[in-house]
Amino acid sequence: MTIITSRRAVILFLTALLLIFLYLGYTDAQRKQRSNLSMEQLSNDLAAISDETGSGQAGNPPQLAESNGVGDDFFIEYRLERDRQRAKEIELLQSLINDPNSATEIKQEAQAKLLQITTSLDQELTLETLILAKGYSDAVAVVQQGQVTIIVRHQDFTEEDSIRIAELVSRNTGYPLTKITILNRS
């Protein structure tokens, strides 16, 4: 093993070591700043997407509300718009998960939100299929933020139909009846 006795070599070595530490500290600070900005951007983007898709009404019992619509167009357009909004949200979350500069906490939050979206999509599809199987013309389910909203198209829709659908939704999602809203759009 060689012992460095030259004063110049020791100073050069220490200077190089100092420069390396400064560089690493600088790049680490930049990474943290980017991850904080990414977290703020995630919060803002998710809030904007949630506002665009709307939210359920908290604390309302199952309701029967009638509205005049244009039939199939509403259900088709709503599904397309819902799919577009979800695709944007999923794309944003996946980009955060796959970003090597994202902090671990951000990746974990994005993964949790992605799992929540996937669960909601599965529940919505299941509910829509079950409602159609009960003989209703068409249905759209929206599961988000602890609320479930069902929009049904059916001639002669009664209060009994509303209760039957609300009970079906409650059994399949575990949500209480007070968190379920049923709307008729014939």
| CATH number of the CATH domain containing 27 | 1.10.287.4300
pLDDT in tens, 36-79: 555 555 556 555 555 544 443 333 444 444 444 445 688 889 88
Q: How many structural domains does the chain have?
A: 1
CA–CA dist 100, 139 (Å, integer): 41
Nearest to 55 by CA among 85, 23, 15, 100: 85
CA–CA dist 62, 67 (Å, integer): 16
Nearest to 45 by CA among 94, 101, 115: 94
Structure tokens at 115: 């799992």
Q: Is 157 left (phi over 0), alpha (psi -120 to 50) or beta?
A: beta
Of the pLDDT bands very low, low, confident and very high (cuts 50, 70, 90), residue 150 is very high
Residue 112 belongs to domain spanning = 7-185
> Does a structural domain hold residue 1?
no
pLDDT in tens, 72-126: 688 889 889 988 998 998 998 888 888 888 888 888 998 999 999 999 999 999 9
> Does a structural domain hold residue 152?
yes
List, in order, residues 6 or more apart from 178 with CB less than 8 Å away: 59, 60, 61
> Does a structural domain hold residue 2?
no
